């Protein structure tokens, strides 16, 4: 079984892998283990680091933390709206751009542009447009629609971030869909046409089922990305999660506990750990519900 | 973007790990520096960290530091500007053992920092020459630890004053309000629909603290939130009523401004309560807005305002404490403070310097200086950041009319105290 040759081969392989393994250990696995270690301790880093083992105290504290509940609720609301919307939008955009229109390439580029912008810059530009006297309100007013104080009103602040994120993330998934669309054999559509299918039938009975594995991928990536919403709400609220906790997300709360208040690093790690479990669960549920798993 | 977010999760933990590594590296470096110092002459380099100010302020600080280096030729000052997230950076650097020798510390953050023991008590360094009694007492008290030792000397401060638009007041034929009731009446007359509001409000605890306590209630008692006290609610209710009933007050973002000074400068508010920082801002950015300042209107005949102060503090792990003290004592000494506050960007915390520069007679700054003796210093124990955060969150929602003030404050108090207990 373990001949010399095999040992030698394995040795060579691991030698070649060692730089990658080292980096992985140092920057991925190490920090993860350290974060787990932290989550079971009360940590005070400033002024002579102290680690006091507290068992599951940090985790039971989450259950009693009103702001953690608000953050989780905001995040779930955000995920529940953003993921389906951006997935559908991406699919529709991709389908229209694949229909063989004139100037298709140009529109592909234009649609993809939002994704290329850094999210920090994007947020600042959007905040400018969301200003009480900004572009968005002017457009709404022009069409006779009600205007909002997007930045200051707790009831719309999170929606403002949702709109911005859908706008910027959908094109990214559109590109993935676009690649998959090119893969659908024309023969399927021809066969459908022979059976008397119209454009809508073709889309619904050929395109959508064929794209299922890609949709699965897009939804999972979307779930992970949206659960980790941080930068936009951080910039939007200046780090506070306001107004009235409306833009407080779980990751923003983790940040606040880790860096803003002293001595709660352990609790922040516990929250991060809990968030990882929530994401894991959401992903698992998604996979459970989508039957097509073989291709992904 | 996706990638960035994943990186953040990884980055969080990496930063922790990294800081441990940085800690090891840091010690080696300082050891090397010391060796170098011995072989050459007694040349010391002290690092000074602070946040940046406007270009004028930076120039003034540079001038002060040049003066210092002239006086102590063997000490070189390395000035580092931390432009964003100042406290995060300072804390991380202190944890990593890479903290600056001398740095700025806001009074608001001081109790928590003193508690961790990363600051050097300065009492043993003080000489008679330094004249500690010259400082405005409440400002110095802000940097006293529970052990009675002084951990920092205030470099400057600002109080709040009423800024009013002269033209709007003249048009409406109004006098500058002296009491809060007068202010409320004036605000009604100055309001023009949603174009101009009589009064611009910053719905934050940092700005409302003295009002909250004006009727005898306490915002913080024994390091816990007690602002749901009916007396506090009664004191704050007029501000909420001004927005909801009189429609004469608004917060800056309702008119598309970033903060009170901008709202006032854009002539969307006839009155705001702001500090010294708004004076140069208004003069430079909105030269057409003619304004005056007055002391904050009285509530029930009592004067009140806030004071915000920042001190120079010393890192306990500093390797060059003697030189660091020389720097602090120069910067907060009569000579250094006089240069630093000479242009009026900041007000001097030393009575002798204030008298010499004559800000109590300055047209715009007199109202601010007058507030110093009765001002409430923005600081109260180690839990104020938690208390502030929860207050701000719920107060805004009451201010916007989503829930009654008493209910909002009760909720905020409960959450704050729960958070404090869990700590």
Closest-CA distance of chain A to residue B119, Å: 9
CB neighbours of A158 closer than 8 A, spacing ≥ 6? A74, A77, A78, A246, A247
Q: Is the pLDDT of residue A141 over 70?
A: yes
Closest-CA distance of chain B to residue A188, Å: 33
Q: Is the pLDDT of residue A41 over 80?
A: yes
Closest-CA distance of chain B to residue A11, Å: 29
**What are the φ and ψ backbone dihedral angles of B36, each rounded to 5 degrees?**
-60, -45
Q: Which of B240, B263, B257, B268 is nearest to B168 (CA)?
A: B268
How far apart (Å, rounded) are the C-alpha atoms in residues B181 and B238?
9
Residues of B in contact with A264 (CB under 8 A): 423
Mean pLDDT, residues B388-414 taken together: 92
Residue with tokens 């990638």: B3
- Domain ranges across chain A: 2-53, 59-288
Contact: A65, B118; criterion CB under 8 Å: no
pLDDT digit string, tens, across residues B163-212:
999 999 999 999 999 999 999 999 999 999 888 999 999 999 999 999 99
Mean pLDDT, residues B76-99 taken together: 90
Please name every residue paired with B165 in a beta bridge, in sequence order, or none if there are none.
Answer: B291
How far apart (Å, rounded) are the C-alpha atoms in residues B346 and B158?
7
Give the angle subtended at the CA of A160 by the CAs of A155 and A163, to the nearest 5°: 135
pLDDT digit string, tens, across residues B35-68:
444 444 578 999 999 998 888 888 899 999 999 9
CATH 3.20.20.80 fits A59-288, yes or no: no
My answer on whether omega of the bond before A243 falls inside 30° of 0, hence cis, is: yes
Q: Which of A67, A151, A243, A283 to mutate against chain B (most B CBs within 10 Å)?
A: A243
What's the whole-model pTM score?
Answer: 0.83
How far apart (Å, rounded) are the C-alpha atoms in residues B41 and A292?
75
Q: Which of A151, A24, A161, A26 is nearest to A81 (CA)?
A: A161
pLDDT digit string, tens, across residues B363-385:
899 999 889 889 999 999 889 98
Is this complex's ipTM strictly greater than 0.90? no
In chain B, which residue's Cα lies nearest the Cα of A242? B393
Say if residue A280 is exposed, middle or buried (CB neighbours under 10 Å; 0-12, 13-18, 19+): exposed
């Amino acid at each position: 079984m373990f001949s010399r040759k095999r040992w030698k081969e394995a040795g060579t392989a691991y030698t070649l892998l060692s730089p990658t393994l080292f980096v992985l250990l140092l920057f991925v696995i190490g920090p993860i283990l350290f974060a787990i270690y932290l989550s079971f301790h009360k940590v005070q880093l400033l002024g002579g680091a102290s680690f006091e083992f507290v068992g599951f105290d940090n985790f039971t504290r989450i259950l009693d933390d009103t702001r953690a509940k608000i953050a989780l609720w905001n995040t779930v609301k955000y995920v529940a709206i953003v993921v389906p919307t951006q997935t559908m939008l991406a699919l529709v955009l991709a389908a229209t751009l694949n229909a063989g229109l004139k100037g298709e390439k140009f529109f592909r580029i234009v649609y993809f542009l939002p994704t290329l912008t850094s999210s920090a810059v994007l947020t600042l530009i959007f905040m400018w447009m969301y200003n009480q006297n900004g572009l968005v309100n002017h457009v709404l007013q022009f069409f006779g629609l009600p205007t909002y104080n997007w930045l200051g009103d707790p009831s719309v602040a999170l929606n403002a971030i949702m709109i911005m994120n859908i706008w910027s993330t959908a094109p990214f998934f559109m590109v993935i869909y676009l690649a998959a669309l090119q893969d659908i054999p024309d023969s399927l559509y021809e066969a459908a046409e022979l059976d008397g299918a119209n454009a809508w039938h073709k889309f619904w009975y050929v395109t959508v089922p064929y794209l299922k594995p890609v949709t699965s991928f897009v939804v999972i990536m979307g779930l992970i990305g949206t659960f980790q919403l941080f930068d936009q709400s951080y910039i939007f609220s200046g780090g506070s999660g306001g107004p009235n906790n409306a833009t407080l997300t779980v990751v923003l709360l983790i940040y606040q506990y880790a860096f803003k208040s002293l001595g709660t690093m352990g609790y922040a790690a516990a929250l991060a750990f809990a968030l990882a479990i929530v994401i894991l669960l959401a992903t698992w549920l998604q996979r459970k519900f989508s039957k097509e798993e073989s291709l992904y | 973007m996706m990638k960035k977010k994943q990186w953040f999760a990884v980055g969080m933990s990496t930063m922790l790990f990294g800081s441990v590594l940085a800690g090891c590296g840091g010690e080696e470096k300082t050891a090397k520096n010391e060796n170098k110092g011995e072989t050459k002459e007694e040349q010391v380099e002290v690092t000074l960290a602070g946040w940046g100010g406007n270009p004028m302020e930076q120039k003034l600080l540079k001038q002060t530091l040049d003066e210092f280096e002239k006086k102590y030729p063997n000490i070189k000052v390395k000035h580092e500007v931390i432009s964003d997230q100042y406290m995060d950076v300072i804390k991380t650097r202190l944890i990593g053992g890479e903290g600056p020798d001398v740095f700025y510390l806001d009074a608001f953050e001081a109790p928590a920092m003193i508690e961790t023991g990363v600051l050097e008590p300065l009492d043993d360094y003080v000489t008679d020459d330094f004249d500690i009694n010259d400082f405005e007492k409440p400002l110095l008290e802000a940097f006293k630890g529970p052990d009675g030792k002084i951990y920092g000397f205030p470099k400057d401060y600002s109080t709040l004053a009423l800024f009013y638009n002269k033209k709007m007041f003249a048009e409406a034929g109004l006098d500058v309000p002296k009491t809060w009731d007068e202010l409320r009446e004036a605000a009604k007359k100055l309001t023009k629909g949603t174009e101009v509001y009589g009064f611009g409000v910053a719905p934050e605890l940092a700005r409302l603290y003295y009002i909250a306590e004006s009727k005898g209630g306490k915002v913080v008692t024994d390091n816990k939130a007690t602002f749901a006290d009916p007396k506090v609610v009664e004191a704050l209710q007029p501000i909420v009523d001004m927005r909801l009933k009189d429609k004469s007050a608004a917060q800056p973002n309702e008119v598309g401004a970033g903060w009170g000074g901008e709202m006032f400068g854009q002539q969307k508010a006839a009155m705001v309560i702001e500090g010294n920082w708004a004076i140069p801002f208004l003069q430079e950015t909105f030269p057409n807005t003619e304004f005056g300042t007055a002391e904050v209107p009285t509530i029930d005949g009592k004067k009140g305002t806030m004071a915000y102060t920042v001190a120079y503090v010393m890192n306990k792990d500093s390797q060059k404490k003697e030189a660091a003290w020389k720097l602090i004592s120069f910067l907060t000494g009569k000579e250094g403070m006089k240069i630093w506050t000479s242009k009026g960007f900041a007000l001097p915390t030393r009575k002798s310097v204030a008298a010499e520069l004559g800000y109590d007679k300055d047209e715009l700054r007199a109202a601010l200086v007058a507030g110093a003796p009765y001002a409430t210093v923005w600081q109260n124990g180690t839990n104020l950041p938690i208390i502030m955060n929860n207050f701000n969150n719920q107060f805004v929602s009451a201010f916007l009319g989503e829930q009654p003030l008493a209910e909002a404050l009760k909720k905020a108090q409960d959450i704050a105290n729960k958070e404090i207990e869990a700590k």
